[in-house]
Copies of this chain bind each other. A is one copy, B any other.
Amino acid sequence: MLNERRRSVLSALVDEYVASVQPVGSKVLVQRYGLGCSPATVRSELAALEETGYVFQPHVSAGRIPTDSGYRAYVDGVVTPAASGLAGSDAEGVRRHYASVERELGEVLHETSAMLSRLTSYVAVVVAPTFRRARIRRVTLVQLAPRRALVVVVTDSGQVADRAIEFDADVTADELTRVESYLSQTLDGAVEAVAESARTRIAAMSGRESVIALRALNEVLDCLAEADADRVMTGGVPALLAHPEFSDPAAVRPLLALLEDGISMLTVISDVMRTPDVEVRIGHENPSVELGHTSVVAARYGNDDLGGVIGVIGPTRMDYRRAVAAVRTVSDTLSDVLGS
């Protein structure tokens, strides 16, 4: 389908268009990319690429612009085969940056988002590890009022989730203390497996304290599940606005709305968890219409026990080479940092 020359014409065209944001003509391709043939020849190749749907002309006397399929062919044919991380100084910068950051999970991820957006000039998205796989290490109940308490859950990965509980009747400090130590002992293990069985066990018991324990346990499970909305953090929106495709506010609004809504963002990006390598989704390949004119480059980080997804979102006219390299380097380095 794509012979050697046609592929290099496409590659050159994408590179040029990404850099210039202008429809690309046959002349500049020959002049700047050493294709070893005349403009007329390139024109016939361009006509063929247009036939295949890889490029299009905004109007008849204009140069060509890559389509989503064109970018796809470019990524599959040019970027992915030469897969690599960031070059020396940038990679070094990433590693040094992590070395200088305090080791609290939330802070590390926040820094990660800032770094990714700085490296790429696109919006960075970081999905914190899900709580589902983590093991509960401690359950704390703190009484705030006669009928109110706060349940705080700490996992072995250092994640913390909390939730307020309202009881139907007053509870005593003693009761809470006993329930707390009971739950802490009982729930020491993987959340999904252990907690569910504990729930049925407690439900079978009777007495005031088992009611409190059941209530607290439900909230624990609930807040672990619902903490998902807060798992997404984004950064670098101002940088994104510098790109000409986002100079029209109408083009940016749906994207910003998506970014503000943690849950939607999560559904959009988190299926990357299933693929092992960096994933590139171009324009309409994205599941949501809001991302129809943007590309997402994402990868998972960490391991099965403690891992999430990082990625960048930018215009389809994206520097895929750099974006892929940055996401790969950052996710690898982050995995190392978390693993130790």
Contact = CB atoms under 8 A, between A and B. Distances in A.
Contact of A137 (B142, B156, B249, B253): B142
Contact of A249 (B148, B154, B242): B242
Given A140-B140, A142-B138, A237-B260, A104 B253 contact: no
Nearest to A105: B164
A238 B258 CA distance: 9
Contacts of A154: 140, 142, 150, 152, 162
B241 A164 contact: no
A242 B253 contact: yes
Contacts of A143: 137
Interface in A106-149: 137-138, 140, 142-144, 148
A256 B104 CA distance: 26
B241 A256 contact: yes
Given A160-B150, A164-B103, A235 B260 contact: yes
A338 to B, nearest CB: 12
B158 A160 contact: no
Interface SS of A by simple majority: mixed
A163 interface: yes
B164 A104 contact: yes
Interface in A145-177: 148, 150, 152, 154, 156-158, 160, 162-164, 166
Contact of A152 (B103, B152, B256, B260): B152
A77 to B, nearest CB: 33
Contacts of A242: 249, 253
A246 interface: yes
Interface string A304-332: 00000000000000000000000000000
8 contacts: A102-B164, A137-B143, A138-B140, A144-B158, A150-B154, A154-B162, A236-B260, A246-B249
Given A138-B142, A154-B162, 13 more contacts: A103-B164, A104-B163, A137-B144, A140-B154, A142-B154, A152-B152, A152-B154, A160-B160, A160-B162, A238-B254, A238-B257, A242-B253, A249-B249
